[in-house]
A and B are shown apart, each in its own frame.
Chain A
Amino acid sequence: MAKVLMKGNEAIAEAALRAGAEGYFCYPITPQTEVAEYLSKRMPEVGGMFLQGESELAVGNMLFGAASTGKRVFTTSSSPGISLMQEAISYMAGAELPAVIINIMRGGPGLGGILPAQADYFQAVKGGGHGDYRTLVLAPSTVQEAVDLTMLCFHLAQKYRNPVMMIGDGMIGQMMEAVEFPDSYEEPPLPSTDEWAATGALDRKARIIKSLFLDPLGLENNVLILEKKYQQMIREEVRCESYKISAKNKILIVAYGTMARICQTAIDELEAEGVSVGLFRPISLYPFPEKEILKEATRKNIKSVLTIEMSMAQMMEDVERAIQGRRPVHFFGRTGGIVPTPEEVKEQVLKLLTVKHRSSKKKS
């Protein structure tokens, strides 16, 4: 198929359809409303279900119910809306249901603003709802990657029977880029939903899909079943990418989403000025690419690590945990809808390099 120019939100919507999404539940919120607008036209064309709820609270629970049928279902929203869905996400994790949740993040906390931010990292990665559960979290940095990861989300949700989340800052949803959709959607084989899905009990025993386990041993057992899946995710679903990592780097930048692209511009410009810097970009935020970051950060030439975010040092906690104190981890970020410029990133790198020179002079 030839490339088309699409807004991130439209591309996400189209990608979901091509991955076989049959049910979409939503409530409008900037900056992701175009997903709903697009699907209000397209969902009926493919015979799927488009339903606007009365609130995100309703949407979360519609998703819970629809996911119980084993069909591919999803929702999209932005930060405050995703907060309202946390209870349902926890219930779906507890009941082992596949669902895709896409958060096109805006500035917070509270009602915040409508400009791009990455401030829902903790909410997505650490589990915004209650209980011992995890959500698999992916973060694209281009519209094309948003297409690819949206499709992957549906596969992973079915593979693990667990909520899977994709998070992108508002820019991912709002910007236009050239994208290409695969002619046909192919994915590795998946376990059948026949064993568990609520599909009508006319000719079989009724099934109860629930997250309630009053017997503590039963509840502990359920949590252990979930835990086993999360361990499998850690083994099989780590995704990351590096950019211009070389033995000449003294500093390793860690950034995700569109923030990584701003860092790439800064890295290219620094390279032209004779300063070599590498970028490590986590694509899966849970599972976090811990071993991979540790390996890159502890190379002999790397003196320190710089985490850059459109939030206040949220991912930095995971970077620090991965590096285990073996290199200093610094932070730079803007938030509230302010997007750091390549110039600001360059300034931070150069500042770090000067500090380093001074301290090494002291030693000699």
Chain B
Amino acid sequence: MLVISPVKQHRLPTFSKSILIIVGGYGSGKSEVAVNLSRQLVNAGSAPVAIADLDIVNPYFRSREASEQLTSLGIRTINPTGGQHYADLPIILPEVKGAIEQRQGVLVLDVGGDDVGARVLSSLSESFIEDTYEMLLVLNGNRPFTADLDGCLKMINDIESSSRLKFTGIVSNTHLLEETTVQIALDGLELARQVSRRSDLPVAFLSGLREIIECDEFDNVDVPILPLERLLLKPWESSAGDE
């Protein structure tokens, strides 16, 4: 069984709410954050963890592709099965609504990108009870439409109106995949702080590849940190990532 054993003991994100909705722009790294967060929560061991892939806009690179690994960790995965696993159809399993309403353990919802992807939440919005969920905006300052403060505020606005739900926090996840540097992640955190000041949403946590986020520059960061292991890999990365 894979266990996260941080080399450095950062303050890991913890939540008192039972539903964590992970939303953001395309390419913000939502799915990678969602699967890693699920791993961390199961590792913390407090409650049963389930993850539902609600991505109805992307045909590839969705969290459902990590479902085998997640299941082996004891995480319940709620995804379309059979041929529909591969479909790009707006399929919302009845189990998702059930899991939201039952509120047993922690439920992570991995939602598709942009306001278009977040629209799926509006069909479920009546099942959400206020103060029982966190809705987190995953921010990547290296994506064209969230590269500056205005772009990020527009993204918040667009997603809130299409999802009919309000954000409760921000995840700073600025990256350039394998080309990410410490400076890129620090600049991203600064952008997240600016967005936080203007939107009144707290920075819930900072996330990034472990090799970046464990550099000394992040030792005194005043927000929780979630180190990421890449679980959603491209085919030519598969062997390298299996260690």
Contact = CB atoms under 8 A, between A and B. Distances in A.
A30 interface: yes
A71 B234 CA distance: 37
Nearest to B234: A175
B27 A6 contact: yes
Nearest to A174: B60
B239 A171 contact: no
16 contacts: A3-B142, A3-B179, A4-B143, A7-B26, A113-B86, A174-B61, A175-B234, A176-B177, A178-B177, A258-B235, A261-B236, A262-B235, A265-B237, A341-B239, A342-B235, A342-B238
Contacts of B177: 5, 176-178
Interface of B: 26-27, 58-61, 86-88, 140, 142-144, 147, 175-177, 179, 234-240
Interface size of A as a range: 20 to 34
B236 A6 contact: no
Contacts of B59: 30-31, 114-115, 170, 174
Contacts of B176: 3, 5, 178
A132 interface: no
B147 A4 contact: yes
A128 interface: no
B5 to A, nearest CB: 27
B87 to A, nearest CB: 7
A264 B140 CA distance: 29
A114 B235 contact: no
B192 to A, nearest CB: 16
A116 B59 CA distance: 10
B142 A171 contact: no
A174 B142 contact: no
A337 interface: yes
B60 A175 contact: yes
Nearest to A260: B236
A271 interface: no
A174 B62 CA distance: 11
Nearest to A114: B59
A258 B236 CA distance: 8
Contacts of B175: 5
Interface of A: 3-7, 10, 14, 30-31, 34, 113-116, 170-171, 174-178, 258, 261-262, 264-265, 269, 337, 339-343
B238 A4 contact: no
A38 B117 CA distance: 15
Given A4-B144, A5-B175, A177-B177, A342 B236 contact: yes
Nearest to A339: B235
Query: Which one of A3, A5, A10 has the highest number of Cβ atoms from chain B below 10 Å of its Cβ?
Result: A5
Nearest to B143: A5
A110 to B, nearest CB: 15
A6 B144 contact: yes
Query: Which one of A113, A116, A265 has the highest number of Cβ atoms from chain B below 10 Å of its Cβ?
Result: A265
A171 B235 contact: yes
| Cβ-closest 7 pairs across A and B | A174-B60, A265-B236, A261-B236, A178-B176, A262-B236, A5-B142, A178-B179
Contact of B60 (A115, A340, A343): A115
Nearest to B114: A37
A30 B235 CA distance: 20
Given A114-B59, A176-B27, 15 more contacts: A5-B27, A5-B177, A7-B26, A30-B88, A31-B59, A31-B60, A31-B88, A115-B59, A176-B177, A177-B177, A178-B177, A258-B235, A261-B234, A262-B235, A342-B238
A116 B235 CA distance: 11
A170 B140 CA distance: 24
A338 B58 CA distance: 18
Contacts of B27: 5-7, 176
A9 to B, nearest CB: 10
Contacts of A264: 236
B117 to A, nearest CB: 11
Contacts of B238: 265, 341-343
Contacts of A5: 27, 140, 142-143, 175-177
A352 B79 CA distance: 40
Contacts of B58: 174
A265 B140 contact: no
A346 B63 CA distance: 28
Nearest to B240: A265
Contact of B87 (A3, A34, A114): A114
Nearest to A37: B116
A115 B236 contact: no
Nearest to B239: A342
B55 to A, nearest CB: 12
A30 B62 CA distance: 15
Nearest to A340: B235
A113 B87 CA distance: 8
A8 to B, nearest CB: 11
Contacts of B234: 171, 175, 258, 261
A30 B175 CA distance: 26
Given A3-B142, A4-B147, A170 B60 contact: yes
Contacts of A30: 59, 88
Query: Which one of B147, B235, B236 has the highest number of Cβ atoms from chain A below 10 Å of its Cβ?
Result: B236
Nearest to B116: A37
Query: Which one of A176, A262, A339 has the highest number of Cβ atoms from chain B below 10 Å of its Cβ?
Result: A176
Nearest to B177: A178
